[in-house]
Amino acid sequence: MIKEGIHFKEAGKFEETRFEKIHNVIFNSSQEASVLVAQEIANLILRKSELNELCVLGLATGSSPIKVYEELVRMHKEEDLSFKNVVTFNLDEYYPMDKDNIQSYFHFMHEHLFNHIDILPENINVPDGKVSSEDLQQYCIDYEMKIKSYGGLDFQLLGIGRTGHIGFNEPGSHINSGTRSITLDHVTRIDAAPAFLGIENVPRKAITMGIGTIRNAKRIVLLGWGVSKAGIIRQTIEGEISSHVPATYLQDHNNTTFVLDSEASSELTRVKTPWLVKSCVWTEELKLKAVVWLSELMGKPFLKLTDKDYNDNGMSSLLTEEGTAYDLNIKMFNKMQHTITGWPGGKPNSDDSHRPERSTPTKKRVIIFSPHPDDDVISMGGTFDRLVEQGHEVHVAYQTSGNIAVSNEEALKFAEISMALNKNSSEAANIINFLKNKSENDIDSIEVRKLKGLIRRSESLAATRYLGLKDSNVHFLDLPFYETGTIKKNNLSEADVDIMCDIIETIKPHQIYAAGDLADPHGTHKVCLDSLFEALKRLKRNDYMNDCWVWLYRGAWHEWDSYQIEMAVPMSPDQVLKKRHAIFYHQSQKDGVMFQGDDSREFWVRVEDRNRLTAKKYNDLGLAEYAAIEAFKRYYF
């Protein structure tokens, strides 16, 4: 049963790490990586059990370890992996916090792991969020002593916060700190806000194992997934040790591995600018990436880059391959130029050899998949508008109902209007009653969810009508994975994929647009994308799919890097205004929306800034100056 795990190599003693001070391994997906981490844990449990020893695990909560726990549960169920010899200590718990609160880490651990394995309840240790403040200090000392009494942690699993915290050791934490209570950083509270339905509900304090406690573990594995972690991962692996980024204290631990997916590793020097670290195989994509980087670094458009610029910045091998800077500059300029089109559905009756889309058929059937009811206009409102104006048969398919993002106050307004119109409506009366008496831990009733979903439907229809679409071309898929009434969603199921297959089979599109948002590995956008990828896999053998091209836009949070863009649709100032108005129809998502993240700008402001920035980047590379640009990358299936 012992299978390969992840091989540890001591940092500083092997290649690839001129910039790196922590051993790290990069995987294509967090799924693949999590299976290997679970395997390492399972191997340790087995080894200890053969020696008749206890296996002492330090465990983390949050989104990062979920798939590791899923795999451990699978191994328990399918491969008889037993946890009878396992003792666990969790890193942290909010303070104050009841065990039975669904936001508690106690609840999280039971839901994801403990309820599904044969661990002895007395071997489970999660800091108690209900200890009185007078007993808190002693409680923390006892927790620390209890870990020591087992001979310390054999293995510590970690995630990393955007502040660089491990456990809840926020910036400023001491290298020798032990288990203690701590005040949470504002950024950490913002990140936790969606789960608590608003930052005001997020506790201000927590109990956490210390940096010293963690560093005493014999083996440490830190998981980092998604582009939102890329910056802090780079600082931790490549920066100097500092209390400003507490995770850097792991640099001089002698058995730590960071397990990353490709997005989380994307800012590491060896990934972002490999030509600075080693000799490269110059693929076409890497060439463009490097030349865009050089142009940004030198503050010069493509056509002004010189041989010296290339040679001084680790790219002489590229020049050797491509000839002179002059030739290479022109080649890259043309490549970027050919991504620009005002005809996202293809330009009829024209040579399309250097255009991102085919000219035929001149009228295409198009599906725009929108994870929430508003991503369509936010992320590609300008392109959407052009597709309709240029006479294509455009359909919009809203994948989820988006009901969870409507506030109670907004829902109450509509319930009261409904009540005023129909005094006998028991449904409206129930909703009003529910909303007025709702407390923090209550999940919305089915009726309330239905109302919230309807609000988002009518907002969407208002926006799509404004862009000239008939109602019959607007489809509300209400994918079931989303309908839990809570932030935590179900896994993707057959039912979701069937719905996606159905709509594609019915419309037989020539173009599909979808949110290629990989930022949050557990977020709704990613699940929606997975549902599309799965549907494409199932349908790809059908003839009509040979004519189907898939274009990915990015969701509200990120944009493609310039070198990744394969279709750039420019917008005039008037089109920018039209897009803004389309977004305005999504009124429940305006002004202090529920899932704002750490960016206080409203969605329309954010996206205008983003589209303007893309246009500026194109212009800085030496291409024409536009007011704004929407960007897409093609997905080949």
Residues near ligand F6R (CB under 6 A): 60-64, 91-92, 159-161, 165-168
Burial status of residue 145 (CB atoms within 10 A of its CB: 0-12, 13-18, 19 or more): exposed
Residue 6 DSSP class: P
Read off the amino acid at residue 211: I
In terms of Cα–Cα distance, which of 335, 336, 367, 360 is closest to 346?
Answer: 360
Q: C-beta of 59: minimal distance to ligand F6R in Å? A: 8
Q: C-beta of 228: minimal distance to ligand F6R in Å? A: 8
Q: C-beta of 161: minimal distance to ligand F6R in Å? A: 4
Neighbours of 38 (CB within 10 A): 23
**Residue with Cβ nearer ligand F6R (64 or 265):** 64
**How far are the Cα atoms of 128, 268, 271, 590, 628 from residue 579, in angstroms, in the given order?**
50, 36, 36, 15, 11
Q: C-beta of 85: minimal distance to ligand F6R in Å? A: 23
**Residue with Cβ nearer ligand F6R (60 or 377):** 60
In terms of Cα–Cα distance, which of 202, 172, 158, 183 is closest to 65?
Answer: 158
C-alpha–C-alpha distance, residues 311 and 140, integer Å = 57
Q: C-beta of 88: minimal distance to ligand F6R in Å? A: 12
Burial status of residue 368 (CB atoms within 10 A of its CB: 0-12, 13-18, 19 or more): buried
Burial status of residue 290 (CB atoms within 10 A of its CB: 0-12, 13-18, 19 or more): buried
C-alpha–C-alpha distance, residues 48 and 419, integer Å = 65
Q: Which residue is nearest to ligand F6R (CB)?
A: 159
Residues with Cβ within 8 Å of residue 53, at least 6 apart in sequence = 85
C-alpha–C-alpha distance, residues 450 and 401, integer Å = 9
Q: Are 11 and 22 in contact (CB under 8 A)?
A: yes
**Residue with Cβ nearer ligand F6R (63 or 341):** 63
Phi-psi region of 67 (alpha: psi -120 to 50; beta: other; left: phi over 0): alpha
Q: C-beta of 92: minimal distance to ligand F6R in Å? A: 5
**Residue with Cβ nearer ligand F6R (61 or 88):** 61
C-alpha–C-alpha distance, residues 452 and 401, integer Å = 8
- What is the gyration radius of the CA atoms in the chain, in angstroms? 26
Angle at 149 between CA 145 and CA 153, to 5 degrees: 90
**Residue with Cβ nearer ligand F6R (215 or 617):** 215
Q: Are 246 and 169 in contact (CB under 8 A)?
A: yes
| Residue spans of alpha helices (H) in 355-407 | 375-389
Characterize 349-363 residue by residue with b for buried, 16 or more Cβ atoms within 10 angstroms of its Cβ, and e for exposed: eeebeebbbbbeeee
In terms of Cα–Cα distance, which of 144, 298, 255 is closest to 621?
Answer: 298
Q: C-beta of 560: minimal distance to ligand F6R in Å? A: 23
Q: C-beta of 210: minimal distance to ligand F6R in Å? A: 12
Q: C-beta of 62: minimal distance to ligand F6R in Å? A: 3
Neighbours of 304 (CB within 10 A): 13
**How far are the Cα atoms of 55, 269, 562, 563, 568 from residue 290, in angstroms, in the given order?**
47, 12, 11, 9, 19
> Annotated catalytic sites, by residue?
170
**Residue with Cβ nearer ligand F6R (35 or 497):** 35
**Residue with Cβ nearer ligand F6R (157 or 628):** 157
**Residue with Cβ nearer ligand F6R (67 or 76):** 67
Q: C-beta of 95: minimal distance to ligand F6R in Å? A: 13
Characterize 458-481 residue by residue with b for buried, 16 or more Cβ atoms within 10 angstroms of its Cβ, and e for exposed: ebbbebbebbebeeebbbbbbbbb
**Residue with Cβ nearer ligand F6R (60 or 623):** 60
**Residue with Cβ nearer ligand F6R (203 or 342):** 203
C-alpha–C-alpha distance, residues 38 and 30, integer Å = 12
Q: Are 630 and 380 in contact (CB under 8 A)?
A: yes
**Residue with Cβ nearer ligand F6R (63 or 273):** 63
Q: C-beta of 574: minimal distance to ligand F6R in Å? A: 41
**Residue with Cβ nearer ligand F6R (228 or 588):** 228
Tokens of residue 20, six digits = 């790196």
**How far are the Cα atoms of 257, 418, 432 from residue 414, in angstroms, in the given order?**
52, 6, 10
Antiparallel, parallel or unpaired: β 567-571 and 628-635:
antiparallel
